[in-house]
Chains A and B, each alone.
Chain A
Amino acid sequence: SAVISQKPSRDICQRGTSLTIQCQVDSQVTMMFWYRQQPGQSLTLIATANQGSEATYESGFVIDKFPISRPNLTFSTLTVSNMSPEDSSIYLCSVEEWKGTDTQYFGPGTRLTVL
């Protein structure tokens, strides 16, 4: 499966600041996804990022708050803007891959704490 890395692995940020999370894949992939896992909750899809087009956001998530870049087939960034304590979560990127069956493979996640 694709090997996915994320930077930073964790961060503690002040309210009102922004953080950009990087996701790097070791192979070219068409579709990348960004998820959020709030404390004690499940994974929620934020947006789908295709190279060369605008990201598609799920209900409840907007581009101004979570701008996404997808400059090539192996890299994407998610920015969490104007952060508040409610943004404290684990943020995960994933890629879709077909290996006999279609699935998504996930990066290790970025644990964000907003004070």
Chain B
Amino acid sequence: DQQVKQNSPSLSVQEGRISILNCDYTNSMFDYFLWYKKYPAEGPTFLISISSIKDKNEDGRFTVFLNKSAKHLSLHIVPSQPGDSAVYFCAATRGSGSARQLTFGSGTQLTVLP
């Protein structure tokens, strides 16, 4: 039972354009969501998080949107840069903002074309 799903295994975007990565979840108890970026041969790097009490969180070029009724979140990267090419994982947990027992999605490979 996959509680966190990333249905797009890959995404290609032109440099300078917007990248939108999507994530769906099934467990209504999840209340804290995180996005990670992973380069080959490295561990995941934390990007941005959002609590279920918010519907948007922004940090520089990265914005995460949360739609609780649809159990859907998305990560927007604007503008996209070639260095953003990596695998992006969304993760979810329940624990009132505590990042424990993370459940990860399967990842989306983002390729930003120069």
State the A residues within 8 Å of B (CB).
Answer: 1, 4, 31, 33, 41-45, 48, 58, 92, 94, 96, 101-109, 111
Known: A103-B34, A106-B43, A106-B44. A42 touches B49 (CB 8 A): no
Given A42-B89, A42-B107, also A104-B102 (CB < 8 A): yes
Instruction: Count B interface residues, CB 8 Å.
Output: 23
B104 proximal to A (CB < 8 A)? yes
Q: Is the interface of A mostly helix, strand, loop or mixed?
A: strand
B69 within 8 A of A: no
How far, in whole Å, are A61 and B97 apart by their CA atoms in the complex?
Answer: 26
Write out, one digit per residue, whether chain B residues 60-104 have a CB within 8 A of any chain A CB (1) or not (0). Answer: 000000000000000000000000000001010000011111111
B99 touching A109 by the CB < 8 A rule?
no
Whether A45 and B44, one on each chain, are in contact in the complex, defined by CB atoms closer than 8 angstroms, is: no
Nearest 8 A/B pairs, CB to CB: A106-B43, A42-B104, A102-B99, A43-B104, A42-B106, A103-B46, A103-B99, A106-B44
| Contact partner, B49, options A33, A48, A101, Cβ 8 Å | A101
Residues of B within 8 Å of A58, CB to CB, are 101
Known interface pairs A96-B99, A104-B102, A106-B43; 15 further A-B residue pairs with C-beta atoms within 8 A, sorted by A's residue number: A4-B43, A33-B100, A42-B89, A42-B105, A43-B44, A44-B104, A45-B103, A96-B100, A101-B49, A101-B97, A102-B97, A103-B99, A104-B46, A107-B43, A109-B41
